[in-house]
Amino acid sequence: DLELTWRNDKNHVIHPYANFENFSKEGSTVYAKGHRHFIYDQQGQKYLDGIAGLWCVNIGHGNEELAAHIGEQARNLAYYNTFEDSTSPSAANLAAKLASLCPGTLNHVFFGTGGSMANDTAIKMVHYYFNMLGKPKKKKILSRNLGYHGSTYLAHALTGIASTHIGFDLPKDDITYLSTPYPYRKPEGIDSHSYCDYLIDEMETKIIEIGADNIACFIAEPIMGAGGVIVAPEGYLGKAYALCKKYEILTIADEVVTAFGRLGKMITSKEMFKVQPDIMVLAKGLSSGYVPLGATVISSAMHEVISRPKADNPYFSHGFTYSGHALACATGLKNIEILERDGFCEHVNKWGPYFKEQLTTLEDLPIVGEVRGSHFMLALEYVTDKKTKTSFPMEVNIGKRIYTASKKRGLIIRPIGPLNVLSPPLTYDKDAIDETIGILKDSILETVTTLHKEGH
């Protein structure tokens, strides 16, 4: 019963990223059913899911084949621990599958239940690795402003979105945040051609300042997601990785959003950005969000070091009840089989450019400063003045307004401050793209009219 759900939700649930002031008076939208890229609320309203739940339902909602497989695995064995000498066929086979997908010698996998946990695991592994090598001083971390890496204590500290740090005493002492590689908002006086080298020079200066002997790793999303779908200048990642190699700094590719087809590749680091990370972090599209699952994949060289026998304690003392969860891993394995067999990457490669091209036509509208991103990972940034690129005042809540206007018309997009993000299920087809563009256009124009009336 809807009233009961609303009451219990309001009285007892703490929502992620809760805005306690803005908690909707009518109650939350209760999503009850999904099919491909459509989602339905409990009152029967149909929406286009322009964000795949939260960048994750890559194969689309309500996939019968995956649901049947999950049921079968649950009936056989949903869970048993994978500590010490236990394993499950699905954990073993999914690890082997990920080893075959990940580039280079990335071939040992640690499983958890999501992206934050996988990033925490990556950092613990890096610290353990340098301790095993007798280099305990090498423990500082390079991250980036506007990078998003999760919400557990350490993953939140890795996240370079300063406004979210307020009120928590996050463990940030060993973290340095490099500048966001943000072409739309590059510093004045730096032209597009020199911007990449400007960022790389800054990174090298920071490395020298901190001392390479003190730096353990560099963590980066190939394209920043939650920070605003920010695409670095061409060549940036390759040059940043080259610096890391020069200074013996391990590289962590946070591919939680970018992997499993969203950019038309199963894994993007090597195939799209031509870089070879030491560690790969995966979640979201790994299980298409059907069950919680995350993975940290390390190189054979790193694995050799962390598995060395030692005198004081024989264990690599890190693990979770749900590491290698049989049901979760079976879901991941089947999900990957479906993604590959049904040609999802080919579909995204075919329709991604059309999606971007159509969305870019909205740059003709008054407040759309930039449309950016790639394939099925796109964003619009709104400004009050296109020449000066002036942002809307916070209280205008521009992204949220256009989200609300779109939702009313049957499209769900994600508001992030002055932006809207699009990251739909990979089933999105021409009809869905065209409808999305139409709704967005109407919603933006309606919002512009209201803003005028309000004097903005």
- The nearest distance, CB 258 to ligand PLP, in angstroms, is 8
Q: For residue 110, state whether it binds ligand PLP (rule: CB under 6 A).
A: no
CA count, 13 A, side-chain hemisphere, 68 = 4
Instruction: State the Cα–Cα distance between residues 102 and 233, nearest whole angstrom.
Output: 24
Q: Which residue number, 60 or 289, has a Cβ lying nearer to ligand PLP?
A: 289
Q: How far apart are CA 293 and CA 73, in angstroms?
A: 15
Q: Is the Cβ of residue 254 or residue 370 nearer to ligand PLP in the bound state?
A: 254
Do β-strands 46-49 and 411-412 pair in parallel, antiparallel, or remain unpaired? Answer: parallel
Q: In this chain, which stretch among 34-42, 235-243, 250-258, 266-274 interacts with ligand PLP, using CB under 6 A?
A: 250-258
Nearer to ligand PLP, 111 or 198 (CB): 111
For residue 303, the tally of other CB atoms under 10 A from its CB is: 19
Q: Out of 66, 229, 256, 439, which residue is the one contacting ligand PLP (CB under 6 A)?
A: 256
- Say how many CA atoms lie within 13 Å of 436 toward its Cβ: 33
State residue 374 phi and psi, 5-degree precision: -150, 145
CB nearer to ligand PLP: pick between 138 and 265: 265
* 283 lines the binding site for ligand PLP (CB under 6 A): yes
Write the CA distances from 293 to 150, 281, 287, 329, integer angstroms. 14, 11, 6, 7
Scanning 128-136, 146-154, 327-335, 398-406 for contacts with ligand PLP by CB under 6 A, the matching segment is: 146-154
| Residue number with the smallest Cβ distance to ligand PLP | 115
- Give me the helix-helix angle, 192-210 and 236-246, nearest 10°: 20
Q: Which helix (H) or strand (E) holds 75?
A: helix 64-77
Instruction: Indicate whether 257 belongs to the interface with ligand PLP (CB under 6 A).
Output: yes
Contact call for residue 399 and ligand PLP (CB under 6 A): no
The Cα–Cα gap between 141 and 207 comes to 10
- The 3-state DSSP class for residue 232 equals coil
Both tokens of residue 323?
């590491």
- Residue 237 makes contact with ligand PLP by CB under 6 A: no
By C-beta, is 198 or 290 nearer to ligand PLP?
Answer: 290
Under the binding rule (CB under 6 A), the answer on residue 225 touching ligand PLP is yes
Q: Does 148 bind ligand PLP (CB under 6 A)?
A: yes
Within 8 A by CB and 6+ apart from 413, the residues are 50, 51, 402, 403, 406, 420, 421, 422, 440
In whole angstroms, the minimum distance from the beta carbon of 237 to ligand PLP comes to 14
* Cβ neighbours for 348, distance < 8 A, ≥ 6 positions apart: 261, 262, 263, 264, 375, 376, 426
Query: Is 293 an interacting residue with respect to ligand PLP (CB under 6 A)?
Result: no
| Residue 328 touching ligand PLP (CB under 6 A) | no
By beta-carbon proximity to ligand PLP, the closer residue of 95 and 283 is: 283
Give how many residues touch ligand PLP by CB under 6 A.
14
- Shortest Å distance, C-beta 98 to ligand PLP: 17
116 vs 323 by CB, closer to ligand PLP? 116
Q: Does 91 bind ligand PLP (CB under 6 A)?
A: no
Bridge-partner residues for 46, per DSSP? Answer: 40
226 binds ligand PLP (CB under 6 A): yes
Nearer to ligand PLP, 138 or 156 (CB): 156
List contacts with ligand PLP (CB under 6 A): 114-116, 119, 148-150, 221, 225-226, 254, 256-257, 283
